[in-house]
Chains A and B, each alone.
Chain A
Amino acid sequence: AQKITQTQPGMFVQEKEAVTLDCTYDTSDPSYGLFWYKQPSSGEMIFLIYQGSYDQQNATEGRYSLNFQKARKSANLVISASQLGDSAMYFCAMRETVNTGFQKLVFGTGTRLLVSP
C-alpha cells in the first residue's frame, strides 16, 4: 500500500517570501505520480502541479515548483513570492493504481498555510 506523509500541520509565511511544504511518500511501484492540491476555505480542491516518477526535471507551474528527490522519496512544494490568496490547506497526493489501471488519488493529511501581510 502507498502512503503519503505531510508532517507540517501548519505553516506561516510573510507576504512576498518563499515557503516550502513538505511531502514524503512510500511506494514500491516503479511508476507513480505525485500531485499537489490547494483547498481554500470555500472547499474546492484546486490542482496545482504534477510530478511523474520518471520525469527528469522538477515540475514548475508559475510560482509553484516541486522539489522532487526520488532517492529520499520526497516531493516538496515550493511557493515563491507568497500572496495573501495563498492562505489555504495544501494536500500532497499520490496516484494509486487499483483494479486494472483505474486511478485513485490518496491524499496526505494536509498543511494549512497562512500568509501574513
Chain B
Amino acid sequence: DTEVTQTPKHLVMGMTNKKSLKCEQHMGHRAMYWYKQKAKKPPELMFVYSYEKLSINESVPSRFSPECPNSSLLNLHLHALQPEDSALYLCASSQVPQADNSPLHFGNGTRLTVT
C-alpha cells in the first residue's frame, strides 16, 4: 500500500465546476509535489511545496490553485478547467526539498476527466 493517499481516485467535472484534489502523507516528509501525467506521457511537474511554502510553480495556469494547509496535507483546487486538462494528477512527497538522494514517494493518483 502506498504511504501517500490521494482522493478521489476518479473525478469527472464540467468546465464550470469547482473541485479539489486532496493528498495526505504521514511519513514526516517536508516537501510535497503535484505532477500532471497525460496518457502515454511521463509525469510533468506542476508545483513543489517546501516546509508548507510554495517553492516551485512551473508556469501552471491559474485555474489550478495549490494549497498546503500543513506538512501532511496538499490540495489542488480546480476551477474553470478545459477538456485538455484531463489527465492523471499525481501527488508525491520527499524527506527534504533539497537536492539529494531522497526519492519521491507517489500516491495512486486522481484520474480527472473534464467534460
- Chain A interface residues toward B at CB < 8 A: 33, 35, 37, 42-47, 50, 52, 91, 95, 97-99, 101-105, 107-110
Does B94 interact with chain A (Cβ within 8 Å)?
yes
- Chain B interface residues toward A at CB < 8 A: 2, 31, 41-43, 45, 48, 50, 55-56, 88, 90, 92, 94, 97-109, 111
- 9 A-B pairs with the lowest CB-CB distances in the bound complex, closest first: A107-B42, A45-B106, A97-B99, A43-B109, A47-B103, A101-B98, A44-B108, A102-B97, A103-B99
A43/B55 in contact, CB under 8 A? no
A105/B101 in contact, CB under 8 A? no
B101/A45 in contact, CB under 8 A? no
Taking a contact as CB atoms closer than 8 A, the residue among B2, B48, B108, B111 that contacts A102 in the complex is B48
Q: Which residues of B contact A104 (CB under 8 A)?
A: 45, 48, 56
Most buried by B among A35, A97, A107: A107
Q: Which residues of A contact B109 (CB under 8 A)?
A: 43-44
> Given A42-B108, A44-B107, A47-B103, does the pair A107, B97 have CB atoms closer than 8 Å?
no
> Given A45-B43, A108-B42, A110-B42, does the pair A103, B31 have CB atoms closer than 8 Å?
yes
**What is the minimal beta-carbon distance from B88 to any residue of chain A, in angstroms?**
5
A33/B101 in contact, CB under 8 A? yes
Q: Which residues of B contact A101 (CB under 8 A)?
A: 97-99
